[in-house]
Amino acid sequence: MARYRVGLETRERILAATRRLLSEFGIEGVTLKAITDQAKVGAGSFYNLFDSKDDAVFEVVREAVEAVDPDPAGAGTDSLEDLVDAFVAFMTGSSPIARIYLQLAGRGLTDPAIASRVLRSHRRRVERFADAWQRHEPGLDAIEAEHRAEVTLAALTGLGMTALMDPGFDMRAHAQRVLQDPRLQPER
């Protein structure tokens, strides 16, 4: 039991070090050596818990996303508004981590392993938004719900990028308007 606790404590020290480095230096400043030095652990201890530096970085991003998730259990209780609010909270409240996530997504263009992780994350988010669209508009077929989810996420990602570059940009106000866009509303 003590060994398990030590492993958990080491893991948390590694993640805390990764968070600090990401916030202070961005993804370029995060190296295995910097993480292990900050966490005061050896490389062997690091590799017992993580396969790579990127795994530690992705875990930090996952935790930041989960911290604002309105339905972390995935029980299907989140509304579109909840999901939009969570997206806005991640992009504006976790801005160093949100920047890292976007940088990782960009690295996915040339690194198949990163692309696979980013796409997996995106597909889960699309599923969540599509489910919420179907709860929001009963009778909406799965294909249309997925399309609306992709369009909603594309708009939110663009707004998030703007918010990260322009501190005066009111992402929340713009994000609320996304759901009111007539192209996403049912035909009457």
3-state SS of 101-157 is HHHHHHHCCCCHHHHHHHHHHHHHHHHHHHHHHHHHCCCCCHHHHHHHHHHHHHHHH
Query: What is the tens place of the pLDDT at every residue in 51-98?
Result: 999 999 999 998 998 989 998 888 888 999 999 999 999 999 877 888
Distance, in Å, from the CA atom of 95 to the CA atom of 160, rounded to the nearest integer, reads: 9
Instruction: Mention every residue, 6+ apart, whose C-beta is less than 8 A from residue 102.
Output: 160, 161, 164
What is the domain class of 53-184 according to CATH? mainly alpha
**Which pair of structure tokens corresponds to residue 1?**
């039991």
Closest CA to 79 of 9, 6, 176: 176
- Residues 97 and 120: their CA atoms lie apart, in Å, by 18
Quick one: fold of 1-50?
Arc Repressor Mutant, subunit A (1.10.10)
Q: Count CB-CB contacts under 10 A for residue 77.
A: 11
pLDDT tens-digit profile, the chain (188 residues): 656 666 789 999 999 999 999 989 988 889 999 999 999 999 999 999 999 999 999 999 989 989 899 988 888 889 999 999 999 999 998 778 888 888 888 999 999 999 999 999 999 999 999 999 999 999 999 999 999 999 999 999 999 999 999 989 999 999 999 988 777 765 54
Residue ranges matching CATH 1.10.10.60 in the chain = 1-50
For the chain, residues classed under CATH 1.10.357 are 53-184
